[in-house]
Amino acid sequence: MSSSLIWMIVKNNSQSLIKRREGQMCTDKFNLSGRNTFKSNGLIHKNSVAIYEDGNEIVFSYFKDNEKGQKSKIIKDSIKDRGRFTLARIQRKSIKAKRPDLTMTAIRKASVLMKGIKKRKMINTK
């Protein structure tokens, strides 16, 4: 199925859809921006990227294609928080995952997660 056909089915009827006065939001793991749009929806695209935190690490995951060009398995890469190194690594990985259009969105989300991890470390040391 084409991604535009799947989008027509999913855009108003999805498990992860939240309808608010401000607009429609999406809680899908592979949706980086949180908005319910064609570009950022992770369910409909063949190449999707997810960034989330797991304890004190940032996890970057993406789909690996099989020989037929279909989604086959999820590749997860844990990255320890090391500032600019982490952001550069996410930039390289998102281009490798064939989603260069989401590179800046991925970097923004990773920097927000890194700030949260840093704040938690500061609170725990006091």
Average pLDDT value for the chain: 86
pLDDT band with cut points at 50, 70 and 90 for residue 75: confident
% of the chain residues with pLDDT over 90: 17
Overall pTM surpassing 0.75 (yes/no): yes
Residue 69 above 70 pLDDT? no
| pLDDT value at residue 70 | 67
| pLDDT value at residue 25 | 92
Rounded mean pLDDT, 44-49: 84
% of the chain residues with pLDDT over 70: 94
| Backbone φ, ψ for residue 46 (5° rounding) | -70, -35
More confident residue, 75 or 64: 75
Residue 26 above 70 pLDDT? yes
Q: How far, CA to CA in Å, does 54 sit from each of 10, 35, 62?
A: 28, 22, 16
What pairs with residue 62 in β-bridges?
49, 75
Q: Which residue has the tokens 């690594």?
A: 89
